A = this chain, B = another copy of it.
Amino acid sequence: MTSDLSPDALPPASSGHIRLTSHSGGLDALPIRWGAPTPAERGPVVGTTSRRSHRNVIGTHSGSYSVYRALAVAAGALSREHRADLTDTAPTDVVGPHPQWSEPDRIVSLDPWGAVTSDVFADRLAAGHDIRPTIAITKAHVILPEIADAIAQGRLRPDGRFLLDSGAALVTKAAVEPVWYLPGVAQRFGCTEAALRRVLFEETGGMYPELVTRSDLEVFLPPIGGQTVYIFGSATDLVNPEVELTARVHDECNGSDVFGSDICTCRPYLTHAIEECILCAQRGGVGLVAYSRKEGRALGEVTKFLVYNARKRQVGGDTAEQYFARTECVAGVQDMRFQELMPDVLHWLGIRKIHRLVSMSNMKYDAITGSGIEVGERVNIPDELIPADAQVEIDAKMAAGYFTPGQVPDAAELGKAKGRGLGT
């Protein structure tokens, strides 16, 4: 479905005036009142590139994939006037609205109304505004060899409802794009909004001058990866603190999650969490995995591999003692994941209590509890799932404050070279 050209549509790329930034809004732009209780009062997020005068955000949709969309236009494969035909795309499951959606500062990095834009902004769509969902919810079968193994070992039993004989676990899953409310993000990081805007602009080498010229635009669609949530059991049960919830918040690690590298515990901990989620659903609870695209502690994979080499080659070998120091030497920080924004997706789902948090990270725990969600038990990764070469990481993290039901390694332990060298 391609819409008609309007007077304020962009000119073809080969002609016309280029506007390097803007200093005031279009007359037709709808206001966004972040955190307002109803969609009508909140207003839609409009990141279209085909009607400049309708835009009410900085940036555009699809996170970093907006660059590929631009390539598609440049290659002549995509009309810049294309408007999505959203027939039959509505969420398979109802999420919200929840009180958290309009509690002050509860959600600042995603649009809680992002899954239901076609419904709640139907009048605005009909009036010609190009409003796109920033969240999509569907059903899927999750089929993991580790789950098949758990069935074979008798730890899991198919029930035909949450887990099929085939080994498939039935899930509801949602993809969530980042939508940042800049005043709220600044508050989370303890800086002024002006400082955040300026640093985002300057430290990316000059991305989006509207960050500094358009203080009236409070919402930014950053070109970064989003999140995916997997729900085992009923999504509506997530809001009920009486229903047991087992949850893991997992940050992407392609080398382990997909390729099974043994230098860390990422995939084993993830598959263990999925096993726990299925068990929880089977005993009347619900399971949740929230997966964030933050490769290599949000430092990216090049930095990660550089750090691996430095760890393996340093004098004294790969030790827990030097684990964080090696990352800091290369990256300047130990971690850039900023768990401060992570609980937003839990509040979008209406969660008030996590009975079993499948994570040892104190940073994740502190962020979740600090955001007002109660956490019961913390579930560590079983020792037998820790690969030998990943002992360095686990020791270092436990010494740095990660949760463990066992003993925290002492200085002598931390100084031992437990990681493999590069030659083997």
CB proximity of A215 to chain B, nearest CB, Å: 12
- Candidates B69, B135, B190, B195; contact of A13 at CB < 8 Å: B195
Are A260 and B62 neighbours in the complex by a CB distance under 8 Å? no
Can you list, as one digit per residue, whether each of A286-323 has a CB less than 8 Å from chain B (1) or not (0)?
Answer: 00000100111011111111111110111000000000
Q: How far is the CA of A260 from the CA of B138 in the complex (A)?
A: 15
Residue A191 at the chain B interface, CB threshold 8 Å: yes
CB proximity of A102 to chain B, nearest CB, Å: 23
Q: How far is the CA of A135 from the CA of B295 in the complex (A)?
A: 15
Number of copies: 2
Complex interface: chain B residues within 8 A of A145 (CB): 144-146, 149, 260
Complex interface: chain B residues within 8 A of A200 (CB): 67, 70-71, 74
Complex interface: chain B residues within 8 A of A59 (CB): 204-207
Are B88 and A310 neighbours in the complex by a CB distance under 8 Å? yes
Are B196 and A262 neighbours in the complex by a CB distance under 8 Å? no
Q: How far is the CA of A64 from the CA of B224 in the complex (A)?
A: 5
Residue A332 at the chain B interface, CB threshold 8 Å: yes
- Candidates B84, B224, B230, B422; contact of A68 at CB < 8 Å: B224
- Candidates B65, B80, B141, B177; contact of A298 at CB < 8 Å: B65
The interface size bin for chain A is: 35 or more
Q: How far is the CA of A216 from the CA of B50 in the complex (A)?
A: 28
Residue A142 at the chain B interface, CB threshold 8 Å: yes
Are B70 and A332 neighbours in the complex by a CB distance under 8 Å? no
CB proximity of A387 to chain B, nearest CB, Å: 7
In the complex, the chain B residue whose C-beta lies closest to that of A200 is B70
In the complex, the chain B residue whose C-beta lies closest to that of A171 is B259
Residue A158 at the chain B interface, CB threshold 8 Å: no
Residue A134 at the chain B interface, CB threshold 8 Å: yes
Q: How far is the CA of A33 from the CA of B13 in the complex (A)?
A: 27
Are A303 and B204 neighbours in the complex by a CB distance under 8 Å? no
Q: How far is the CA of A257 from the CA of B47 in the complex (A)?
A: 30
Can you list, as one digit per residue, whether each of A167-205 has a CB less than 8 Å from chain B (1) or not (0)?
Answer: 010000111110000000010011110111011111111
Are A302 and B21 neighbours in the complex by a CB distance under 8 Å? no
- Candidates B65, B144, B208, B295; contact of A336 at CB < 8 Å: B65
Complex interface: chain B residues within 8 A of A198 (CB): 13, 18
Residue A258 at the chain B interface, CB threshold 8 Å: yes
Contact of A191 with B76 at beta-carbon distance under 8 Å, contacts A204-B67, A302-B134 already known: yes
Complex interface: chain B residues within 8 A of A1 (CB): 329
Are B389 and A305 neighbours in the complex by a CB distance under 8 Å? no
Task: Point out which of A204, A270, A422 has the most chain B C-beta atoms below 10 A from its C-beta.
Answer: A204
Residue A36 at the chain B interface, CB threshold 8 Å: no
CB proximity of A237 to chain B, nearest CB, Å: 18
In the complex, the chain B residue whose C-beta lies closest to that of A48 is B205
Are A173 and B255 neighbours in the complex by a CB distance under 8 Å? yes
Residue A363 at the chain B interface, CB threshold 8 Å: no
Contact of A74 with B21 at beta-carbon distance under 8 Å, contacts A205-B58, A310-B88, A422-B139 already known: no
CB proximity of A77 to chain B, nearest CB, Å: 5
In the complex, the chain B residue whose C-beta lies closest to that of A255 is B140
CB proximity of A389 to chain B, nearest CB, Å: 7
- Candidates B173, B196, B254, B270; contact of A291 at CB < 8 Å: B254
CB proximity of A50 to chain B, nearest CB, Å: 9
Are A144 and B260 neighbours in the complex by a CB distance under 8 Å? yes
Can you list, as one digit per residue, whether each of A328-353 has a CB less than 8 Å from chain B (1) or not (0)?
Answer: 01111100111000000000000000
Residues of A233-264 contacting chain B, CB below 8 A: 254-255, 257-263
Q: Could you list 28 A-B pairs, sorted by A, with CB under 8 Å?
A: A13-B198, A14-B194, A18-B201, A20-B206, A57-B205, A58-B206, A59-B205, A59-B206, A64-B64, A64-B225, A66-B205, A67-B223, A69-B204, A71-B338, A72-B333, A80-B199, A88-B309, A88-B314, A134-B302, A136-B303, A139-B423, A143-B387, A145-B146, A177-B300, A209-B209, A223-B224, A226-B300, A257-B257
